[in-house]
Amino acid sequence: MLKQTIAACLTAAGLIALAPAASAQTNPITLSPEESQQLCTEWLPKLTERTAKLTDRINGGPEIRGSVANLKARAEDQRKKGHNDTADRLQKRADKRSGRLPELAAAKQKLDAFAGAHCKAGK
């Protein structure tokens, strides 16, 4: 089950990353009603939950491992100890991680838009 979840997340990340390239295509992708139903019932809830968890983790406090606040606190701690190279690496990681928030927000908007357009009750 873990392998399937990882595969789903990687597939979703690939789809999100390719979304601008896909919009340049002239042929739309069509799904059968069964495929659309599977997307709505299985994939969208998992992807929505994953984006929410990642956003919560990034925005978490200094006690949340992997959060921007945690990385900045660790960087400051390393700087106090005189480990400036490590502190700079941690600060760069924090900056890069906070830059992911707009990407996650855009992914959530795309998922919500798809759900609103294709996952209506009775379909």
Residue-wise pLDDT for 36-84, tens only, equals 888 889 999 999 999 999 999 999 999 999 999 999 999 999 999 999 9
Closest CA to 119 of 36, 12, 49, 29: 36
As a whole number of angstroms, the distance between CA 55 and CA 49 comes to 10
pTM: 0.66
Query: Percent of the chain beyond pLDDT 70?
Result: 77
pLDDT at 4 over 60: no
Would you state the structure tokens that stand for residue 50, as one six-digit string? 């994953």
Query: Nearest 10 degrees: CA dihedral of 11, 47, 51, 115?
Result: 120
